[in-house]
Structure 1
C-alpha cells in the first residue's frame, strides 16, 4: 500500500533505512556474503518489498524459515539464492528443487525425502547440511554427523543433490562472553573439517546471526545470516542501541485517535478498572489492540506519543483499542498517536514496548497483524541519501 490518506492505523516501512542497514551489515562483515532473513513476513515488515530492497543493497542471499515462504518469494519474482530451513516430513521438496531453492537437512529422514524428490524432479537438489553445535533445536548431533555426511556424499555422487553449504546457529551470541559461543564455534569448525575431509566442498559455511555479525568477526566464515538487524533493531540492548551499530529502525507504527473526551476523577478505564482517573482529565481512544499485535502484557505500561508528549496505556489493552490519559490536553480526533518508531521524533521505540511488555523487540514488530496496513516509503533506491 502507498496511501497517504489518514488510516485507522499504519505501519510505515522505510525501505531507505532497510537498505542502509544492509549496507552497514555488509561493512561489519566485509569478507562474507550477507543473507537477509525475511522469514515471518520479514519480521512483520512485508517479505517481498523488504527482500527486494535488501537485494538492491547488496544482500546476495535471502533466508526464510518455511519452504512456503521461500516459494512465495520466487512466485513474486525474486531471483538469486534463497535458503529455507524449517522442514517437516512431507514438505514441498520437489517444488523447492524446481524453484532452485537451497534446502536445509538436519537428519536422515530429510535427506531421504529430498533425494526422492530429486529423482521425481529429475534435477539435483541444493542441500545445506545443518550441524547442531549446541543450540539443541534443529541440526544434526555430532554423533550422527558421519552418517549424514556419508549418505549426502553418496547422493551427490549419484547426481541427486549438491551440498552447497554447511551451517549451524548460535544460542547465546547476544550475551557477550557467554562460554557457549566459543564452544559452538569450536564444534562448528570440527564438524566442517570432518565433512570437508570426507569430500564435501561447500560453497558457504555459516553460523553468524545478527549479534554475531555485529560483534564476533571470527564467526563470519563465508556468509552471515542477518535477521533483526536488517530491520534496524538491536539484537541485544546489552550490546548496544541501533544507533551504536549504525542501524535505523525501519517500522513506525501509528494510529489515528478515534475519540477524545472529558472524564471526571475516579472514572474507571477499560476492562477490570485497573486504571481510574486521578482527577478531571481527558481520555484518548487509540483504535488498535491485541488483535493488531499490541501486547496485552503492556497494559498500564505501553508508551505512546500524542501531541508531542509521552502517554501511557491507561488500563487494559483490549482486542481492538486502548485508552491513554491525556491529562487535560485536547488533541482533535484523528490526531496521530505514535506507538513506536526510530525514536528521533521523541517517540517510543520497539525496545521501549518490549520492556513494557516483558519481551524482546523482535516480538513487538513481528506480531503486528494484518489489519494494520504496511505503507512503504522511499521505495526507490534513488530516494536514499
Structure 2
C-alpha cells in the first residue's frame, strides 16, 4: 500500500493543503446524521480535487464502508492503490465497451441503467468466471442516468433476476439520485421518494434482495432522514463544503472545509495612478499603489469569471483580484501595503483565519463551491496534512 508522501518543505509556487483530520471529522459528523445507514464517501473526480487515494483512506479510517466513483477507471485506481475488497467500491458512469471484466475481478459494484449495460455485464461475468456485483439504478425524476419506471424497469429487473438465477450476477443494490435535494421543500423531492419506494417495492416483490437501497446524496443526508434507507452517498460534504447556502454554512452543518489554496507572491511593485492592470485594462489604479502578483491562473483552475471580484487574503487583509485573471497569474491591488515577495496569498480555506472560503469564490464567479475545489488543476501540488 502506497503511503501518503510527506509534505514538501521547500517553498512552493502554490499549494492546495488538504487537512485529512478535517475530512475524518466530517465523515464522523455525517455518520451521526444518518446513524441507521452505512456511509459512502464519494471520491470521484480525484476526490473533488482533493486527492482520491489519501482521502479515500482517511474516510475509511473514519468509518466509511463504501467508496463511490463516477468512472470505472477511478474505481480500479482505488483497488490498484491497495483499497481492499472489504471496502465496497461502486462506480456508475459506464459506456459501451467499458472494463466490465476488470471491475468484476476487482470486486467493484457496477451500476446498470439499461439492457445494453446488463448484456455487457453478463458477458464479462461469463468471461471472468465469477458473478458480477450489480446495482440497478432507477430514474425517479432526475432525467439523467437510470432506468425509467414502467416497462423499462420491468424488463431490466426481470433480466437481472434471470442472470442472477444463472449465477452470473448478484443484484447488490437498488438506487437513484435526487434532482433538487439542495433546495429543501422542493416538490420534486417528495415526488422522487414516492417513485423510488414504488420501484423498490416492484423489484423486491419480484425477488430482488439488495444489500443496500440508496438515494440520499449530501443534501439529503443532512436534511432528509426519510431518504437515508440503507446507505447514504456523501460527496461534497465529506470535503467540508455545504451543498448549498440554503442549507447552511459548513459551520452550521458541523463540517470543516478540507482544502486551503494559497500561493507565494511572485512580485510586489509600486505603480502610479492611472496604471492599467492585466489584459484589457479592465482595472486602472485609482492612485499610486502597490500591486502584488499571484502566480495562479485559469490554467490552475482559478475561474476567469471571478476577474475583478475574487477575494484573496494577503497580509491579514482581504484584497480583490484587480483586472482579468490570466492563464498563469493575476494581480491584487495592495493599497500601498508592501508585503515581502514570497508572502502568502490565500485564495480560500476554512475561513476561521480570516481567509475567504470556496463559497466566497463561488459567489464571485457565479458558480457553486463544488466547481471551485474540483477544478483546481494538477499543476497545483496537493499537500496532505494530518494523515
> How far is 1:5 from its partner?
2.3
Query: Could you tell me which residue of structure 2 aligns to residue 201 of structure 1?
Result: 209
Equivalent residues in 2 for 1:3-18, closer than 5 Å: 3-18=8-23
Q: Alignment partner of 2:143: what SS?
A: coil
Instruction: State the TM-score, normalizing by the size of structure 1.
Output: 0.98
Q: Which of the numbers 21, 25, 29 marks the counterpart of 1:24?
A: 29
Query: Could you tell me which residue of structure 1 aligns to residue 47 of structure 2?
Result: 42
Q: How many residue pairs are counted as aligned between the two chains?
A: 379
| Structure 2 residue 285 is matched with structure 1 residue 280 | no
Q: Alignment partner of 1:185: what SS?
A: helix
| Structure 2 residue 133 is matched with structure 1 residue 126 | yes
Residues in 2 aligned to 1:23 and 1:125: alpha-carbon distance in whole angstroms: 31
Residues in 1 aligned to 2:193 and 2:384: alpha-carbon distance in whole angstroms: 39
Query: Could you tell me which residue of structure 1 aligns to residue 108 of structure 2?
Result: 101
1:83-112 superposed Cα distances (whole Å, 9 cap, x missing partner): 000000000000000001000000000000
> How far is 1:6 from its partner?
1.5
Residues in 1 aligned to 2:186 and 2:321: alpha-carbon distance in whole angstroms: 36
Q: Which of the numbers 73, 76, 81 marks the counterpart of 1:76?
A: 81
Give the alignment's Cα RMSD to 1 decimal.
0.4
> How far is 1:4 from its partner?
2.7
Residues in 2 aligned to 1:244 and 1:110: alpha-carbon distance in whole angstroms: 41
| Structure 2 residue 69 is matched with structure 1 residue 61 | no
Residues in 2 aligned to 1:67 and 1:13: alpha-carbon distance in whole angstroms: 25
Equivalent residues in 2 for 1:1-385, closer than 5 Å: 1=5, 2-79=7-84, 80-143=87-150, 144-379=152-387
| Structure 1 gap ranges (5+) | 380-385
Query: Could you tell me which residue of structure 2 aligns to residue 382 of structure 1?
Result: none
Residues in 2 aligned to 1:305 and 1:374: alpha-carbon distance in whole angstroms: 20
| Structure 2 gap ranges (5+) | none
Instruction: State the TM-score, normalizing by the size of structure 2.
Output: 0.98
> How far is 1:13 from its partner?
0.2
Q: Alignment partner of 1:94: what SS?
A: helix
1:337-382 superposed Cα distances (whole Å, 9 cap, x missing partner): 0000000000000000000000000000000000000001101xxx
> How far is 1:35 from its partner?
0.0
